[in-house]
Amino acid sequence: MSYTRDQMIAIFNRLQQSLIDRVADTGWMNLRISTYNVVFASGRIMVRKVGKVVTISVLNIRSESQLSAGSSYRILDELPAGCCPTDTVAVAAMAVPGSGLMFGGEIEIRPDGVVTLHLPAGIGYAPSYGIYATITYLTD
């Protein structure tokens, strides 16, 4: 069986589109930081979905006020459609208090799209502490 040049181009284009559809990439999207129970003065949260893999990047989030040890603070009200995990995901966060690194607590992503920072007992954050984390998980 032989194909014409135009038929080969059409086959290639269909295959390429099929591959693109399977690994659709949203690119990095900047998300609005929550003001639900604390005001964050700076930083950003970005999300990217490639196929079924979601990556959330928390970059240098800093509050305007002291964050209390053992408390929880919502940092994102809702993830974009298709980016929510099927089960709760939790990862360690880093805090950068001017110099050096320290355990920054836990960032939790719930199936409803809410993202929360849980501070460990005994460790509060001053406004100068930057919070960092990278979270990667699969969606359905």
Distance CA 47, CA 80 (A): 9
Stated as kind and residue range, the H or E segment containing 106 is strand 102-109
DSSP SS3 for 81: coil
> Could you give the CA distance from residue 20 to residue 27 in angstroms, rounded to a whole number?
13
How much is the pLDDT for 101?
65
- Residue 127 has a pLDDT of 66
User: What local confidence, expressed as pLDDT, does residue 98 receive?
Assistant: 66
- For residue 134, give the nearest of 75, 91, 99 by alpha carbon: 91
Dump pLDDT digits (tens) for 14-57.
Answer: 888 877 777 788 999 999 988 887 777 788 899 999 888 999 99
Q: How far apart are the C-alpha atoms of 48 and 56, rounded to whole Å?
A: 7
pTM of the model as a whole: 0.78
| Residue 140's pLDDT band (cuts 50, 70, 90) | confident
In this prediction, residue 30 carries a pLDDT of: 94
pLDDT 10s digits, 111-133: 999 999 998 887 777 767 788 88
How many other CB atoms are found less than 10 A from the CB of residue 109?
Answer: 23
3-state SS, residue 1: coil
Residues 59-102 pLDDT 10s: 888 888 888 888 888 989 999 999 999 999 999 888 776 666 67
pLDDT at site 17: 81
List Cα–Cα distances, 138 to 1, 53, 118, 133, in angstroms: 41, 5, 22, 17
Domain covering 25-138, topology: Immunoglobulin-like (2.60.40)
